[in-house]
Amino acid sequence: MAPDGQLPLVIPLVLYNGEGQWWAPRELAELIEKPGTGVEGCVPRLLYLVVDKGRYSLKDLETRKSIPAQIFWLEKNTKRKALVRGAKRLVPLLSGPDDGPLRRDVLAWFDRVLMPRGRRRPIPQVLELEDFRVMLEQRVEEWNRELREEGRLLGLKEGRQEGEARLLLRQLERKFGRIDPKTRRKVTGADAERLLHWGERVLTAERLEDVFDN
């Protein structure tokens, strides 16, 4: 309670990071049926503020010296180099002597939202600024390392799929002659398992349609 006996002001705030723009009513009175004449003043009114991530450009968020802006920026721009820059901008924003709990929250957010598979790490109850900086750098490096590995595995998978598609097309052309563009697109767009299944059917199929018949 305030020194003059009045209640302190509490401002409801919504941090919204959905795909579309915020559309819900912003005042409680809009959710209540219209009252009869003479009791309009009894309708409770409560307005809340909305911080909508979708209304800010990446450039605008990057220049704002606030923790929510930098978190929004990281959510919208999770490229490897961007993650490094965003993490560096967070450190000075959390350098206050009373920012320990908030530093822990930011690290927890990194683990649950940005880290691969939402991996969680133990975070000390008392987190000094230098410890926060080191742990944040470690998380960024781990994120980059796993992203590079995922990219390598994806490249191997795509290379295998491309090779199997070329092999199947060669088999089809040798047995049935020239392959039409529609069938060619169907083959090149299929996954490795389906390509293998079709390749087995080539051996016994009498018509091109028999290879793809379900």
Give the span between the Cα atoms of 168 and 184, in whole angstroms.
Answer: 10
pLDDT grade, residue 2 (50/70/90)? low
What are the structure tokens assigned to 18, written together? 């959905």
Mean pLDDT value across residues 195-200: 82
Rounded mean pLDDT, 81-103: 86
Q: Of residues 17 and 88, which shows the higher confidence score?
A: 88
Interval 133-144 mean pLDDT: 79
DSSP 4-41: TSPPPP---EEEE--SSPP-S-SBGGGGSPPPPTT-GG
CA distance 135 to 142: 11
Cα 63 from chain centre: 21
Q: Establish if 143 belongs to a structural domain.
A: no
| Domain membership flag for residue 199 | yes
At residue 51, the pLDDT reads 85
Range 47-75 average pLDDT = 87
Domains of the chain: total: 2
d(CA 96, CA 128): 10
Rounded to an integer, the average pLDDT of 41-52 is 86
pLDDT tens-digit readout, 144-153: 676 666 655 6
The pair of structure tokens assigned to 57 is 């450009």
Boundary of a domain, candidates 55, 75, 91: 55
For residue 167, being part of any structural domain is answered with yes
Q: Is residue 138 part of a domain?
A: no
Q: How far apart are CA 56 and CA 43, in angstroms?
A: 34
Q: What is the pLDDT of residue 155?
A: 55
Is 136 within a domain? no
Which helix (H) or strand (E) is 52 found in, with range?
strand 49-52
Going by C-beta distance under 8 Å and a sequence separation of 6 or more, which residues neighbour residue 89? 62, 70
Residue 188 domain flag: yes
For residue 9, give every residue at least 6 positions away whose Cβ sits within 8 Å of its Cβ, in sequence order, or none.
none
Q: What is the pTM of this model?
A: 0.55
Q: What is the mean pLDDT of residues 84-107?
A: 88
Mean of the pLDDT values across residues 150-159? Answer: 60
In a domain, 92, yes or no: no
User: Which domain does 198 fall in, by range?
Assistant: 163-212
